[in-house]
Amino acid sequence: MSEYINIFFIILRRDLMLAFRNKAEFVNPLMFFIIVIVLFPLAFGSDSALLKQLTSGIIWVTALLATTLSLETIFRSDFEDGSIEQFTLSRYPLTLLVSAKILAHWITFGLPLIAISLFTGFILSLPNQTIVALCITLALGTPVLSLIGAITVALTIGLRGGMLLSLLILPLTMPVLIFSMLAIQNATIGQPISAEIYFLAGILVLAMTLAPIATAAALRIRLS
């Protein structure tokens, strides 16, 4: 067991180091996220009431689109240098190695995205309860985006099809977006959000359980 834990953290540390060496791969989607969030207030002008109603939804939709831009980096370098083949031939479970890579992606992209969203909420003067709901839904939803995205990336690895990747992942992430928006809307009007949070947590647990297995199977299919 300790050997598996060690290899998990070795892969995690390796991917984090590669991400910070190639900063553009995860900075560009974050810059896209920031630019879109900044441009929307300019479009709505001085109508602050309308802006407050739409901001949380804009943040979530932009986060979803920005995530699709960053997903291809999960396996790209490993596919190009042949590491994917070594992973599949390794004596360690491929699901374990894939889980480490997905976690590395979420740390380098999901966590900064949550921090930027929190800062944006304060800058745009969103109500406190809305900001809290936004952060909770992003904390539960962004790992699901990484997990589901890893499956679609594994299925399309080597195809260089960004549009194909978007077409595959966007319909699969609709439940996360729907429950997140319902939670934020209820928080804004002072209603409880526990039901939506439970649904998001359930989706996250299901994705954490099945997504690494599906991703490993997809990689084996693509490389066979």
Q: What is the mean pLDDT of the chain?
A: 85
In the predicted structure, residue 208 carries a pLDDT above the cut 90: yes
Going by C-beta distance under 8 Å and a sequence separation of 6 or more, which residues neighbour residue 103?
A: 12
Into how many domains does the chain fold? 1
Q: How far is Cα 183 from Cα 69, in angstroms, rounded to an integer?
A: 25
Three-state SS annotation for 157-206:
CCCCCHHHHHHHHHHHCHHHHHHHHHHHHHHHCCCCCHHHHHHHHHHHHH
**Range among 75-79, 102-106, 128-132, 168-172 rated most confident:** 102-106
Please give the Cα distance from 51 to 167 (Å, whole number).
Answer: 29
User: CA-CA distances (angstroms) from residue 147 to 114, 140, 150, 176, 213?
Assistant: 17, 12, 5, 12, 10
**SS3 label, residue 93:** coil
Structural domain of residue 142, as residue ranges? 2-223
* Cα 14 from Cα 101, distance rounded (Å): 9
- pLDDT band of residue 67 (cuts 50, 70, 90) is confident
The token duo for 44 is 């709505």
Handedness of CA 41, 42, 48, 53 (dihedral sign): negative
The CA-atom distances, in angstroms, between 70 and each of 5, 44, 77, 149, 189 are: 26, 28, 13, 9, 33
Q: What is the pLDDT of residues 132-148, one digit of tens each?
A: 998 999 999 999 999 99
| pTM (predicted TM-score) | 0.88
CB atoms within 10 A of CB 125: 11
Supply the pLDDT for residue 117: 87
